[in-house]
Structure 1
Amino acid sequence: MAWIATLKRWARELKTEVIALWLCSRHPHMPWLARLVALLVVAYALSPIDLIPDFIPLLGYLDDLLLVPLGIWLAIRLTPPTLLAECRARAREVETHPRNLWMAALIVLFWVALGAGLLRWFFY
């Protein structure tokens, strides 16, 4: 079961890299091409829409397993090392902040109200 721990560690590192790339893309000293690639990678990594839908056997997860890591690799290669180190440190700092439970409750309340409103609209 050591491979499960390895996968969990890899997923945490991937999350940190995505946060770091998002922070880099907002930095004023980021080159424009690196900024564009970083924004595209972060948007694609966080987007629920995939190039290849996940319901297609094997191919559906191919973009998640190949495209996202390759995009992160490219964005990292285009980012200046000092800027990347700074943003990685900030990303680790962001991950350690406590979650805002009030905001989470507000978002859940919004979705419940939206769902209730849609149900009422459809059935009455």
Structure 2
Amino acid sequence: MMRKFFLVVTTWLTVSTLFLGSMVMADTYWIDVREADEFATGHHPEAVNIPYESIGERIGEVTGEKHADIRVYCRSGKRSGVAKATLESLGFTQVINEGGVEDVLSKIAAEK
């Protein structure tokens, strides 16, 4: 009887831990790597602005979680490509280059 109890408790704890872990990982961090004046002309509503030259020094302002879902974009995709490479060299594993700001804003409009 005790053995069955511990099996149930262990299973419940494992499932709960996996569920909570997936909830913690659910956040997506949007980073616009253009300059501040470009950011001011329009950006993803959840984005923070960190110019690509500063991404390595300032990523801690957004997250320190190496497996966080990070989306970077710029005007055309070139600077965000550099930012992606920088973040990956620092150990971030889930970085996606979303390309240019127009692509990002078009996706948002299409989802509405």
Q: TM-score range by the shorter chain?
A: under 0.3
More helix by proportion, 1 or 2? 1
- In the superposition, the TM-score normalised over structure 1's length comes to 0.24
- In the superposition, the TM-score normalised over structure 2's length comes to 0.26
Using CA pairs below 8 Å that are at least 6 residues apart, which structure has the higher relative contact order? Answer: 1
